[in-house]
Chain A
């Protein structure tokens, strides 16, 4: 095995492939590269030793660790690589150089960020994910997506700037830019980094960019977006803030509040965006608990979430691609014309609902057990409520309104084969990692084997009687509630409308205030401008009169003037010498 191959960060490979892809007009070759690069990346990753700095550099006195694999980053990197592969397959029917290349580079940047060993490199790839991912939103090509992408970019860059400021603080205080665990949030550097990560993880009140941009992204773009940005933030939290108490509450609130929005939202992709929030909440909460079991749970759940959330976004993307909408009010009854998509969507929906034998069950039960062991009953109840909510909005609402419910009369073709293939692979993974380990090493044990705290993971039993019973009770009762509510017509009907979220504060009220200030400025401004220009104009005239090519300094006989100046300076120096030496 040549050393240069083990020293190659798979993320860099994807970024390079992405750059090549942008300039490659041949569609099939480009897409083959997009599929091949993640496969090669997986091979590279499998060959790389863990806990070794494979590639380091020293730039401007900073010691950078460009490639380092350990138990934590391995899982995220593997999940990102699989997601990049699925995305490339899912995008096979499109012909968009920029989107193909940028998606590849975006995934590569997320992988490279997961495999770096210092804050500065993390920052660089953090910014690359921001810049490349914006093309996923832009790719939709609509006016709304343009504005959403600009807001998205602004927020992402803000996160990067905060991160850089935090790194600068940390470097100044400690002289260490290695990845480190921050225990005290009171230090300004740690706090800035915390907020920067929080923006990308879509913390409550910092979350609006997600619901704003994902539903407006292109068919492929939304799938790509769902995999990387928020999960990278989860990785960063797990790396640098494990056991940070404030994360427990933030995570718990994150799991609960999207439920209300998701239940009443009409755009099904926006429902998925809220459900992303909710799933991230579970992981953040687990990271806050910080025990090995909890961290295992967070990592495993991130892995599972990348698969089933990607699957759900893919199925909604297929619906959007065929029908041109994801509005619940305009959909329904699609199971007749899109049977395969329906099945895959159901797999995703059941997975996210944590039904036993599906992926989220084996991952989320770790989180719930960890919270219970840590003695946090209120948090546990909040998570249980959120789990019921997940079933409500993602497990039932998405497939029900899209594929069943009242028949919209739409008769479309089944999704293209490549979409079905990608969905099928995601569905396979979602089921495979949820199965009991009948054959040791397969089923859920395959995933548990990869987790950072392997001993704890292998000792943990997801399929115990009380786990299954609790979960089934929850699922059955929640389903029963849905049926009841639906039966009595209390369940919020699918109808078009705009749900107000906290981004109303800046998108409407802030905008209004800016407009008002603009009107006032429009009155006051001209008066001030007149005064200002009166003054500066006069100053400008004076300066121009002196310095311009026709000005005073350029006039007069050149040679004569120079001779006079020379004599004058000579006189000056002589005079100075005369005075000082005396």
Chain B
């Protein structure tokens, strides 16, 4: 399929895929603000995200093609790096770009009914405008090869995210303090990041990530570089919801419009985690002694703490979205644990789980969005008996829930298996036990909902047979079936994750 894409794409698309991927949504975003009708805005946002998906697939095809060097480098405005801004795509961020844009397409397809229900009519086009800006920002973070440019895109996505979260206020006023908290904390994170970049600039005199990477090995003793490392890791860790810097996430996820929750859960923390991996493995290197220490004494314990503590917190939640939000933090813990192993196997397990978790949480929050749309409540009590009144939605929810637990024949099982292999290889067998224990907690919190959905009588028996609209069900089932399909054959996602991990490590890529 990838070959067909390469052969059929026109030359201009092949040559300029990288900037177009970001520019199309970024230009469409202000245009959308002027569009009067929400429905047209919806179509445009689908078109914009879809265009990005095509470009990201082209980039993936070029990167994966055997005859290329595996890297696409694009100098913006023909200002050659390291002076100019460079968009640089390798197997690692090609995978992230495909993930973000595919989730963007699915999210925008399903968005319209929930947006109509939750957003005031006059703000609909503005809402879509913010969404596309956020989407463009996330793509930009993933694609850029310039550290300062990464900060800019991070801010583009973050600022529009604050707006998106705050727009949940018409459904629940608590969205406003949630958005404000998120703004303050997100700004702390972004500030830490830019301070770190500043330190690196001071030490190396360049902002191009590949250039920084080539200069760093001689400067490992420099306190400036170490301080830069500390600021960058903590700043990006906050954005990626690394425990205990995750506290903005549960509120933001539970009070924002349900479409926003779905999109953010599948992309935002993933992109931040990508940026962290990029800095940990490509700009810095696990060979640096201070980074190895950070792996063993910080990332690994924090990953495990997230896995356990947030799973416990998820067990006690009464609100389904809040519960899923805590579960997201726990899942980020798995990924960080995989990353902290510091081997190719560990990193690819972490990235593999990143892919699978995007599908899992995307499907779960999509199903929750459907329930919010048709039944209004997000409390577990509101889910009682829905298995009978909305069987299609709830079956997809159950599939994704089982995948979240890690039941065999689902994608979640495969990624936990890979994580287990990587941990065993490193000799961290005790961590495998903790992963299993955390999965057991997942059985409890997912089981609670499934029990309510399928085995309890409905709270309001008069609301019989109310399924979500078809535009919601189709993306939902695409994700649910993907969970099963990738649970049976792992070739595609695991291949992507392995290539990505190799690219993150690879010597020929960034140095």
Partners in one complex: yes
Query: Taking beta carbons and an 8 Å cutoff, which residues of A are in contact with B?
Result: 60, 543-544, 546-549, 551, 553-554, 558-559, 561-563, 565-566, 569-570, 572-574, 576-581
Instruction: Evaluate whether A573 and B312 lie within 8 angstroms (CB atoms) in the complex, with A559-B181, A563-B188, A581-B221 already known.
Output: no
* B227 interface contact, C-beta 8 A: yes
Docked pose: A554 CA to B181 CA in angstroms: 14
B residues within 8 A CB of A60?
488
Beyond A544-B316, A559-B185, whether A574 also contacts B227 by CB under 8 A is yes
> How far is A563 from B184 in the complex, measured between Cα atoms in Å?
9
Q: Can you list 17 A-B contacts (CB < 8 A)?
A: A543-B312, A561-B247, A566-B238, A570-B234, A572-B297, A573-B229, A574-B227, A576-B290, A576-B293, A576-B298, A577-B226, A577-B293, A578-B226, A579-B293, A580-B293, A581-B289, A581-B290
Contact call B188/A570, Cβ cutoff below 8 A? no
| Nearest CB on A from B316, distance (A) | 4
Within 8 A of A (CB), among B228-256: 229-231, 233-234, 237-238, 244-245, 247-248, 251
Q: Looking at the complex, which one of A547, A559, A577, A581 makes contact with B312 (CB distance below 8 Å)? A: A547
Task: Determine whether the beta carbon of B185 is less than 8 Å from that of A562.
Answer: yes
Query: In the complex, are the beta carbons of B293 and A562 less than 8 A apart?
Result: no
Specify which chain B residues have a CB less than 8 angstroms from the CB of A580 in the assembled complex.
289-290, 292-293
| Chain A residues with CB below 8 A from B185, complex form | 559, 562-563
Give the distance to chain A from B4, nearest Cβ to Cβ, in Å: 25
A-B pairs with the 6 shortest C-beta distances? A577-B290, A573-B230, A548-B316, A577-B226, A547-B312, A580-B293
In chain B, positions 170-218 with a C-beta closer than 8 Å to chain A are 181, 184-185, 188-189, 192
Interface SS of B by simple majority: helix
In angstroms, Cα B244 to Cα A47, docked, is 70
Most chain A CB within a 10 A radius of its CB, from B181, B229, B290, B294: B290
Q: Report A-chain residues with C-beta under 8 Å of the C-beta of B313.
A: 547-548, 551, 553-554
Q: For residue B293, which residues in chain A have a CB less than 8 angstroms away from its CB?
A: 576-577, 579-580
Min C-beta distance of A98 to chain B, whole Å? 21
Interface of A is mostly: helix
A574, B312: Cβ atoms closer than 8 Å: no
Shortest beta-carbon distance, B326 to chain A, in Å?
A: 9
| B294-339 interface with A by 8 A CB criterion | 294, 297-298, 309, 312-313, 315-318, 322
Which residues from A are CB-within-8-Å of B227? 574, 577
A contact residues around B248 at 8 Å (CB): 558, 562
Given A565-B244, A574-B230, A581-B220: A549 in contact with B317 (beta carbons within 8 A)? yes
Given that A559-B184, A562-B188 are known contacts, is A576 also in contact with B317, CB under 8 Å in the complex?
A: no
Residues of A within 8 Å of B226, CB to CB, are 574, 577-578, 581
Chain B contacts for A570, CB-based, 8 A: 192, 230-231, 234
What B residues does A562 contact at CB under 8 A?
185, 188, 238, 245, 247-248
In contact, B316 and A558 (Cβ under 8 angstroms): no
Do residues B229 and A566 form an inter-chain contact, with CB atoms below 8 A?
Answer: no
Sample of 7 further A-B pairs with CB below 8 A, known A566-B234, A579-B293: A549-B322, A562-B188, A562-B245, A573-B230, A574-B230, A578-B226, A581-B221
> With a CB–CB cut-off of 8 A, which chain B residues contact A579?
293
Determine the distance from Cα of A147 to Cα of B230 in the docked complex, in whole angstroms.
68
Indicate if the CB atoms of B294 and A576 lie closer than 8 Å.
yes
Shortest CB-to-CB span from B381 to chain A, Å, is 15
CA distance A547 to B309 in the complex (A): 7
Q: Which residues of B contact A581 (CB under 8 A)?
A: 220-221, 226, 289-290
Check B294 against A566 for contact (C-beta < 8 Å).
Answer: no
Q: How far is the CB of B73 from chain A (nearest CB, A)?
A: 31
Nearest opposing residue in chain A for B318, CB measure: A549
Chain A residues whose CB sits within 8 angstroms of the CB of B233 once the complex forms: 573
Q: A569 — nearest CB in chain B belongs to which residue?
A: B234
A574–B227 CA distance with the chains assembled, in angstroms? 6
The distance in angstroms between the C-alpha atoms of A561 and B247, with both chains bound, is 9
Contact across chains for A569 and B237 when beta carbons are under 8 A apart? yes
Chain B CB within 10 A, most for which of A548, A565, A577, A578: A577
Contact B245 A569 (CB under 8 A): yes
B220: chain A residues within 8 A (beta carbon):
581
- Complex CA distance for A581 and B227, rounded to whole angstroms: 12
The reply to whether B192 and A566 contact each other, CB–CB distance below 8 Å, is yes
Residue in contact with A546 in the complex, picked from B238, B294, B312, CB distance below 8 Å: B312
Q: For the complex, what is the distance from the CA of A549 to the CA of B237, rounded to whole Å?
A: 24
Complex alpha-carbon distance, A3 and B248, angstroms: 63
Q: How far is the CA of A355 from the CA of B185 in the complex (A)?
A: 94
**B285: shortest Cβ distance to chain A, in Å?**
14
Closest Cβ of chain B to A555, distance in Å, is: 11
Minimal Cβ-Cβ distance residue in A for B183: A559
Docked complex Cα distance between A499 and B231 (Å): 84
Query: How far does the Cβ of B390 sit from chain A's closest Cβ, in whole Å?
Result: 22
- List chain A residues, Cβ under 8 A from B184: 559
Q: How far is the CB of B208 from chain A (nearest CB, A)?
A: 24
Whether B316 contacts A573 by the Cβ 8 Å rule is no
- Shortest distance from the beta carbon of B410 to any chain A beta carbon, whole Å: 15
Q: Which residues of A contact B316 (CB under 8 A)?
A: 544, 547-549, 551
For the complex formed, measure the closest distance between the CB of B422 and the CB atoms of chain A, giving whole angstroms: 23
Separation in Å of the A495 CB from the closest CB of chain B?
A: 49
**Are A577 and B244 touching (Cβ within 8 A)?**
no
> A498 to nearest B CB, angstroms?
39
Bound-state Cα–Cα, A293 to B292, Å: 75
User: Which residue from chain B places its CB closest to the CB of A560 in the assembled complex?
Assistant: B184
Closest to A563 in B: B188
A554's closest neighbor in chain B, by CB?
B313
Docked pose: A561 CA to B181 CA in angstroms: 11
CB neighbours (8 Å) of B309 from chain A are 547, 553
- Are A572 and B298 also in contact (CB < 8 A) when A549-B317, A563-B188, A565-B244 are? yes
Q: Kindly provide the distance from the CB of B488 to the nearest chain A CB, expressed in whole angstroms.
A: 8
* Minimum CB distance partner of B290 in chain A: A577
Residues of B within 8 A of A561 (CB): 247
CA distance A572 to B297 in the complex (A): 9
- CB neighbours (8 Å) of A559 from chain B are 181, 184-185
Shortest Cβ distance from B178 into A: residue: A558
A557–chain B nearest beta-carbon distance, Å: 10
B48 to chain A, nearest CB (A): 33
A577 touching B247, Cβ below 8 Å = no
- In the complex, which residues of chain A have a beta carbon less than 8 angstroms from the beta carbon of B247? 558, 561-562, 565
Give A156 Cβ to nearest chain B Cβ, in Å. Answer: 24
Given contacts A553-B313, A576-B293, contact A569 B298 (CB under 8 A): yes
Report chain B residues within 8 Å CB of A543: 312
Cα A558 to Cα B179 in complex, Å, equals 12
**Residue among A60, A561, A574 with max Cβ neighbours from chain B (10 Å):** A574
- The CA of A562 and the CA of B230, in the complex, are separated in Å by 17
Bound together, the chains give a CA A574 to CA B185 distance in angstroms of: 21
- Find the residue from B221, B229, B233, B313 having the highest chain A CB count within 10 A: B313
The residues of B that contact A558 with a CB separation of less than 8 Å are 181, 247-248, 251
CA distance A508 to B297 in the complex (A): 62
Q: Is the CB of A565 within 8 A of B230?
A: no
Chain A residue contacts of B237, Cβ below 8 A: 569
Chain B residues, CB < 8 A from A544: 316
Q: Closest Cβ of chain B: how far from A302's Cβ, in Å? A: 38
A415: min CB distance to chain B, Å: 44
Report the bound CA distance from A553 to B305 in whole Å. Answer: 13
Residue of A nearest to B292 (CB): A580
Residue pair B230, A577 in contact (C-beta under 8 Å) = yes
**Smallest CB separation, A574 vs chain B (Å):** 5
- In the bound assembly, the distance between CA atoms of A554 and B318 in angstroms comes to 14
Complex Cα distance A472/B226, Å?
A: 103
Tell me which residues across on chain B come within 8 A of A572, comparing CB atoms.
297-298
Complexed CA–CA distance, A562 and B234 (Å): 12
- Separation of A576 and B231 alpha carbons in the complex (Å): 13
Collect the chain A residues with CB atoms within 8 Å of residue B251's CB.
Answer: 558
| Residues from 415 to 434 in B contacting A, C-beta threshold 8 Å | none
